[in-house]
Structure 1
Amino acid sequence: MKPLIKLLCLAGLLFTLTPQASSAAPPKKKPNLIVIFCDNLGYGDIEPFGSTVNRTPCLNRMAREGRKFTHFCVTAGVCTPSRASIMTGCYSQRVGMHWNPRDGQVLRPISPYGLNPGEITVAEVLKKQGYKTGMIGKWHLGDQPPFLPTKQGFDYFYGIPYSDDMTQAVGQRLGDRLDGKNWPPLPVMLNDTVIEAGVDRNLLTKDYTEKAVEFIEENKDQPFFLYFPQAMPGSTSKPFASDAFRGKSKNGPWGDSIEELDWSTGQILDKLVELGIDKNTLVIWTSDNGSPMARDMNSTERGTNKPLNGRGYTTAEGAFRVPTIVWWPEMVPAGTVCEELATTMDLLPTFARLSGGKVPTDRIIDGHDIRPLMLGEADAKTPYDGFYYYAMEQLQAVRKGPWKLFVPLKEFSRHPHFKKGAGSQPLLFNVVTDTSSEHNVADQHPEIVKELMSLAEKARADLGDTNRPGANQRSAAKVDHPVPPTLKTTSTK
C-alpha cells in the first residue's frame, strides 16, 4: 500500500471519539445513510475480524470509531437472494427471489425474472421522506427495464446489472445453456442506459469510489441514501484491482482487491469528515455473503470465513454470518462490539424509523428496527425469536439465541455438514461458544431440538419448503421478451 494512502487512513485516529452513553439523543435532522455492500467477502478477510494477511487500516479506523457486529447475518449464501433481502427487508423466499426455473438461485444476464416492482424497497421508503437516493455498483436483481434500480426507488444508478464474472466470454462458453450465446459485453449503466460495453474490471472499485464521492458532494446539503454494492472481491478466482493495488498485497489478487476496498472506504469516511456531515451520517459496511474459499480450506487465496464453519454458497455459518461495522460519530458508541443477532433485513425498518417514516403495514416485513443495537443501548437484545437458513427452496437450519439446528433431511443438493446418504439426524451447535460448529450437542439438549424443530415447522408453513409452498409468499416479476442490455438496446436516442 502506498505510504500516503496508509497515512490518510491512520489519520482517522484524529477523529476517534470516546464511547457514548447508551442513551444517545436522537438526531435533530434526518441522517444521511450509506450502505457499503461487498461481494463474496468473508468473515475473516479484514483485520477487525481477524485477518493477518490483508491490510485494512481504514476499516481498523472504522471499527475504532464505530461498532462491530459479530453476529450479523445475510439471508442467503449467494448474491441475488441476499440482495433481495437488503432491498425489501424480507427473506428472499417471501418475495420470490430465492429461485426461478430459468436461472436457479442467481439471476443470469437476459433473465426474464426480477424483483417485483410492486415490492416496497428501502429506497422507496426513504424517497418518500425526502431523501435523494443513489445506487453505485452491482445490482443483480434483474437486468430488464422494469427491474432496474431507477424503477425501484433510486434517483440515480451507476454500475453493472449483475456479477462481474457474467461476461460475454463466459456466455460464449455456455452456448445455448442459460442463453449464454446472447450474453452481451459486461455493461456499465447510467440510470437505464448502457454507457460502456466490456468494462475494464480492474477499474471498477476506483471508478465506483469516485462516483460515490461525487454523489456525496452533490447531495451534502440534503438527506441522502447511498447504496454502494461493490463488485469486489467478486465471483472470479482472481479478483480485480487498479494499478495502485494490483500485486501489492501479501495475499495475491484476493488481497489486492480487499486492500483497495479498504482504501475506498477510507475515501468515503474522509469525505464525510471534510464536508462536516460525518456526525449526521450513518455508514454500514458489510458483505452480501461469505467467501467461496479455496479447495484448501486453510488457504486465504479465495477468502476465508474462519473462525466460522464452511464456505459461501451454502447454509454454513461462514456463508450467512458476515463482517459488519456500523459508524456514526457521537451516535454509535466508538470501539464497541454487538454480539446480538441482527440481519440485513433490519436495514429497511431501521432506516424507515431513522428517517421519520414508517415500515410498510400492507405486507409482511421480516426485518426489525435495530436502532437499540446500533446505538449501544443498555441491555438491548436481538429481536429475533427465530432465524432461518434456506438453500433456495429448502429450509436447512434454524437459529434461536446461541443455538443453530440443522434439521434432518432426506435429500439435498448441497449441505455444509451432511454427506450424501446421511442427514437423518438433527445437528445442534452453540454458535456462540462453538465458533467453528464442530460439536453436535443434539443428544444433550433434546428440549432445544424440539423447540427449534417447532420453529422450523412455522417457517415451512409461512415461507415454504421443498415441494411445499408457504402461505405468505409473494412472487417475483417476469417479462415476456427479455433483451440483452447493450449500447444499442438501451439507447435513449
Structure 2
Amino acid sequence: MKHLSEWGLLMAAAAAMPLSGTARGRKATPAPIDTVARRLPNIVFVLTDDLGIGDIGAYGQRTIPTPHIDSLARAGMQFMQHYAGSTVSAPSRAVLLTGKHTGHAGVRGNDGRKLEDGTTYDYSLPAEEVTVAEVLKSKGYATGITGKWGLGGYPEEGGVGNQGFDYFYGHQAQVDAHHYYPKKLYENGRKIELDGTQYSDELTTQHALSFIDRSVAAGKPFFLEFATTLPHAELVLPAEEMKPFEGKFQETPFKGDWYGAQAQPRAAFAAMVKRIDDNVGRLVAKLRETGQLDNTIFIFSSDNGTHIEGGHDPNYFNSNSLFRGTKRDLYEGGIRTPFIVVWPGHIAPGSVSYHVSAFWDFLPTVCDIVDAEVPKGVDGISMLPEWTGEGEQPKHDHLYFEFHEEGGKQAVIRDNWKLIRLNAKQLSGDPSKVRYELYNLSRDPKELRNVASEYPGKVLELQRLMDKGRTQSKNPAWNF
C-alpha cells in the first residue's frame, strides 16, 4: 500500500490548478490546450487482458482491493459507456492503434499462422496502416510497448518493429502470452531465452519502468502502452502474491487443460487483479519520481470483457458488473470496458462521463492533443472536448462491431438501441439460420429482453446500418 497516496497527492496539487471538464455536475474552468506554448504531454496507456468492467472497485468490485485504480477514477474522468474494439484481443488492439472499427480494421480476428521461425503468430497489421505510435513518433515522441503485442511477428512489415514503436519487450505472439513462466520473450527483434522460472509480467513491468527512465533522460515526451497479460488465463503467479488470498474463498480446483492446473482459482484471480493494481501504483510512482506526473495523460482500460478460462468464475466476482455475456460475446459484458483517464490541469478530478465512446476514438483524440492530421479512413472521433469541457463534443451516429468465431456475429448501437446479428456467416449460406436480437440499453442495460419482434422497424433501421458498416477484408476468414 506504499503508493496508495500518490494520486491523492496529485489530486491535492490539481485542486490548485485550472481544471476543465465536468466534475460530478460542476463545471470547471477549461484549461486551454496549446501544443506550442506547453510541453507535449506524455501518454501512458495501461491495457489489461480480459479484465471485466466489474473487476475493479470504481466499477463496483467489492471483494478484490484495487486502491490505485480507484484513485485514478478520483483523480480523473471515469467513462460509464466505453467499448473495446472487439470481444477478443487481436482485433481490439488493432482498433485501438489504428482508429478503425472492426468493419474496416486490418485485423479482425484472433487467427494465426506459422512463420519461418516456427512460431504461430497472429495475422499482422497491414504495413499501410497508420498507428497512434507512428503519429506520436512524427511529433518527436519516444514510443514503447511492453507486454503483449499479438498483431504479427517482428520480421513482418506490419509487425511491432514497423508500426511506430521504438521499443518493444514482451510476447510477440498471443499463443506465447497464454503462459506466465515462458521460455522466451522478445526485446525488439531479439529473442530472450528464459529458463521458465521468471514471471513474465514482472519482467515486462520492469522494462516499462526502464523505458520511462530512458525517455525522461533523453528529454523526450513518451508514449508507453503497458499491455499487461493479466488477468488472462492461466491463473498463476508467484507464491508470495497468492498468500494474502489463500483459503479466503470456497474453491473448485481447476484440473488444467491448455492452461495449467490451479487448486485455488478464485484466490489466484483475485491476486492477479491485485497485481495489476500494484503495477498501476508502480507506474504512477515512477512518473512522480521522474517529475512527469503532472504532464502525463494516464489511461486505464481492458481489451475486452471478462473470460471464463483457466478456472475463472466471473459470476463469483461479478466480473462483468452483472452485464450479460463475457469474452466472445457482443453482449455488453463482452465489449463494455472500464476506461479511466487522468490529465492534471485539463480533466477535472472525480468527473464521470456518459459519453458513448470506443477504442477507435483514441487515435483521433491523440491527434487532437498533439495537433496532428487524422489519418484517412479513421472511424473514431476525438474525445478531447469531453475530456476537457472545451468545445462541443461530437457524438457517434452509431457504433459497429463484428466477430468471426462461433458462426459470426455483428452488432450496431444507435441511440442506445442495440441490434445483434448471430450466425452471420450464414448470410451467404442458409439465411434462415441468421438470428437477430434487439435490446433497448437505456431501459434494459442487462439485455434481458429481446424485443426484435416488437420493433421490426428498428430492426430494419439497424440492419441497414449493419450492412453498410463494413468493407470486405483481404482475409476471407473475416468476411460474411
TM-score by length of structure 2 reads 0.81
Q: Answer yes or no: is 1:399 the counterpart of 2:396.
A: no
Is 2:3 the counterpart of 1:8?
yes
Aligned counterpart, 2:169: 158
Aligned to 1:175: none
Q: How many residues align?
A: 434
Quickly say closer, same or farther: Cα 1:422–1:161, change in 2 above 3 A. Answer: same
Work out whether residues 410 and 424 of structure 2, in 8 Å CA contact, stay in contact via their aligned partners in 1: no
SS at match of 2:227: strand
Unaligned 5+ runs, structure 2: 21-27, 249-265
Say if 1:114 and 1:78 are closer, same or farther in 2 by CA, change over 3 A: same
Query: Would the aligned equivalents of 1:110 and 1:144 in 2 still touch at CA under 8 Å?
Result: no
Distance in structure 2 (CA, Å) of the matches to 1:98 and 1:197:
32
For 1:329 and 1:14, locate their aligned partners in 2 and report how far apart those are by CA, in whole Å.
Answer: 12
1:205–1:241 Cα contact (<8 Å) kept: no
2:54 matches 1:38: no
Partners of 2:153 and 2:476 in 1: CA distance: 27
Q: Where does residue 298 of structure 1 map in the other structure? A: 315
Percent of counterpart pairs with the same letter? 30
The residue aligned with 1:481 is none
Q: Determine whether 1:319 maps to 2:334.
A: yes
Note if contact 2:102-2:108 (Cα within 8 Å) is conserved in structure 1: yes
Q: Which amino acid aligns with 1:401?
A: D
Q: Which amino acid aligns with 2:31?
A: A
How far did 1:121 drift? 1.2
Partner of 1:97: 107
Q: Does the Cα contact within 8 Å between 2:146 and 2:169 map onto a contact in 1?
A: yes
| 1:429 aligned to which of 439, 442, 460 | 439
One-letter amino acid of the counterpart of residue 407, structure 1: R
8 Å contact from structure 1 (residues 69, 338) kept in 2: yes
CA 1:113/1:314 → structure 2, altered by over 3 Å: closer, same or farther?
A: same
Q: Matched residues in 1 for 2:269 and 2:413: separation?
A: 31
> Cα offset for 1:334?
0.8
Contact 1:137-1:229 at 8 Å conserved across structures: yes
2:33 maps to 26
TM-score (norm 1): 0.79
Kindly tell me: are residues 186 and 98 of structure 1, through their superposed partners in 2, closer, same or farther at Cα, counting changes over 3 Å?
farther
Segments of structure 1 that go 5 or more residues without pairing to the other structure are 1-5, 171-184, 414-420, 471-493
Query: What secondary structure does 1:98 align onto?
Result: coil
CA distance in structure 1 between the aligned counterparts of 2:301 and 2:178, rounded to whole angstroms: 25
Shift of 1:410: 6.9
Distance 2:350 2:91 in 1: 32
Alignment match of 1:360 (pick from 371, 375, 383): 375
Equivalent AA in structure 1 for residue 165 of structure 2 = F
Q: Does the 8 A contact of 1:164 with 1:234 survive in 2? A: no
The answer to whether the Cα contact below 8 Å between 2:169 and 2:185 also exists between their aligned partners in 1 is yes
Distance 1:36 1:67 in 2: 15
Match among 242, 247, 261 for residue 246 of structure 1:
242
Distance 1:163 1:468 in 2: 18
Q: CA deviation at 1:156?
A: 0.9
Offset of residue 366 of structure 1: 1.6
Q: Per-residue deviation at 1:149?
A: 1.6
Maintained 8 Å contact 1:38/1:231: yes
**In structure 2, how many angstroms separate the alpha carbons of the residues matched to 1:72 and 1:224?**
25
Match of 1:234 in 2: 232
Amino acid in the other structure paired with 1:189: Y
The residue matched to 1:154 in structure 2 has which SS?
coil
One-letter amino acid of the structure 2 residue matched with residue 113 of structure 1: Y
Residues 204-226 of structure 1, C-alpha deviations (whole Å, 9 max, x = no match): 33222222222112222321111
Distance in 1 of aligned mates of 2:112 and 2:170: 24
Superposition pairs of residues 62-461 of structure 1, within 5 angstroms: 62-99=72-109, 109-111=119-121, 113-146=123-156, 147-163=158-174, 186-197=183-194, 199-200=196-197, 203-220=199-216, 221-236=219-234, 238=235, 240-249=236-245, 251-293=266-308, 298-300=315-317, 304-361=319-376, 364-377=377-390, 380=393, 383-392=395-404, 394-407=408-421, 409=423, 426-460=436-470
Cα 1:426/1:194, change in 2 over 3 Å: same
